[in-house]
Structure 1
Amino acid sequence: MIIVLSPAKTLDYRTAPTVAEHTQAQFLDQSQLLIDRLRQLTPAELASRLKISDSLAMLNSTRHAEWQLPCTPENAKQAVLAFNGDVYEGLDASSLSLADLQFAQRHLRILSGLYGLLRPLDLMQPYRLEMGTRLSNPRGKDLYAFWGERIGEALAQALRAVAASALINLASEEYFKAVSRRSLPVPVIQPVFEDWS
């Protein structure tokens, strides 16, 4: 099986990675196109488009200016160690052994507005770009149009590579809308979480 997650808004680039092993994201050429588009926006336009504060808009404008290829351990961090939201705190990837992280590398994918699809050990530079952001681009009015079939096709390849019988969707609706279900060769299992307090 393959499990898909949403990214987290909170990032941790202060803590040193617990492993040196890393990989490169599959769609870095596409990420560069988005960065080039984002660099055209003023901080005020970023604040409006991303619905963030002026200070976060300034931070992300700086991130866009500094973003560069290649992703290296000097300018980036493994995705599963960089994301720091509730799901990632629960995953506690920094406590996992290298063998556990290599298992996750085969069976876990993170949907991303900027990177499309990330494996846990893919290096990523800090960013804030939610999948639902309306950002005009050569392919359309938003990131769903930008990514098109790419994410679904990449997931299909990953599913075939591990002979998966199902895809477990733990991503938000906003992010999973970027996945073309018709591309997937296996059923999608969508757990429903309820709070019975």
Structure 2
Amino acid sequence: MLVLLSCAKMMTRASTVTPPFTSMPLFKEEASAVAVQMAQYSVADLELLLHVNAKIAVENYKRYQSFHADEKEGLAALLAYTGIVFKHLDPTDFTDEDFLYAQEHLRITSFCYGLLRPLDAIHSYRLEGHAKLAGFGGQTVFSFWQFRLTDVFIDIIKANGGVLVYLASDEMRGLFNWSKILKEVKVIVPEFHLWKNGKLSTIVVYTKMARGEMARFILKNRIEDLNELKSFSWEGFVYSDINSDGSKLVYVMGVK
């Protein structure tokens, strides 16, 4: 079983956690080329391209300008991303064995690095899938990565039993030829809903929290059987058989 998470916009360059080792990203050269392209943009360009305010644009201008000059090798991806999902995955108490298991069974999408293992050393960046890379014919980041990632990702999933637990955001499908992936492997999509006023509703922040908690549950407990995945519960979210189907596992909060 392989778990997929989305990268986070929030990143840090330092952590108090020491992983057993760091590894080199599979697409390090491609990431370098993407960073070179992004370094060509001015602060004003980045503000428009990334849909951010001036402060964030300045921060990321500096990041791209120093991307190749930084003497540090970077921080393990699992520690570098600090968004809600990663806060709830919470690797601060991971043992070396937990990190090693995660290295084999978890992948993280990245608009800059393509596809990452948890211990791949990376530099901080900010990027969006719809941003255009002028040096690559103006293609978007999504189209840049699709043909590079799809077959590699399929091979990784097959090496992990042919089952993908998709805990990433919907937009991350754009990094792959998703129809090909669906033909080649089994994709399970957990969903997290609240039962309110007689119907299921979704609150994004709860979904992000639950995705992180489920990833933690899988990694910490070495879950490799889908039936075991149904036993996951958190803060009132429990598996709902009546709302689930073959590829969708639904967890609901608020059903008595």
**Alignment TM-score > 0.5, same fold:** yes
> Number of residue pairs matched?
194
Counterpart for residue 68 of structure 1: 68
> Which is richer in strand?
2
AA matched with 1:29: E
Q: For residues 188 and 136 of structure 1, do their structure 2 counterparts lie closer, same or farther at Cα, with a shift above 3 Å needed?
A: farther
Counterpart check, 1:25 vs 2:25: yes
User: Superposition pairs for residues 53-92 of structure 1, below 5 Å?
Assistant: 53-68=53-68, 74-92=72-90
Select the structure of larger CA radius of gyration: 2
How far did 1:137 drift? 4.2
Gaps of 5+ in 2: 197-256
TM-score by length of 2: 0.70
TM-score by length of 1: 0.90
Gaps of 5+ in 1: none
Match of 2:4, SS state, is strand
Q: For residues 37 and 48 of structure 1, do their structure 2 counterparts lie closer, same or farther at Cα, with a shift above 3 Å needed?
A: same
Q: Is the 8 A contact 1:132 1:175 kept in 2?
A: no
Q: For residues 139 and 94 of structure 1, do their structure 2 counterparts lie closer, same or farther at Cα, with a shift above 3 Å needed?
A: farther
How far did 1:144 drift? 1.4
Q: Is the 8 A contact 1:133 1:143 kept in 2?
A: yes
| Per-residue Cα deviation, 1:46-92 (whole angstroms, up to 9, x for no partner) | 000000111111110110011128x87x2410000111111101111
Counterpart for residue 156 of structure 2: 158
Counterpart for residue 214 of structure 2: none
| Per-residue Cα deviation, 1:137-159 (whole angstroms, up to 9, x for no partner) | 42543111111222222211212
AA matched with 2:41: L
Q: Is the 8 A contact 2:11 2:81 kept in 1?
A: yes
Residue from 153, 168, 175 that aligns with 2:165: 168
How far did 1:12 drift? 2.4
Match of 2:35, SS state, is helix
| Per-residue Cα deviation, 1:151-174 (whole angstroms, up to 9, x for no partner) | 222211212333x13111111111
Counterpart for residue 104 of structure 2: 106
Q: Calculate percent identity across the aligned residue pairs.
A: 30
By relative contact order (CA 8 Å, sep 6+), the higher-ranking structure is: 1
Please tell me the root mean square deviation across aligned C-alpha atoms, in Å: 1.9
Displaced runs of 4 or more, over 6 A: none
How far did 1:13 drift? 2.2
Counterpart check, 1:178 vs 2:175: yes
Counterpart for residue 96 of structure 1: 94
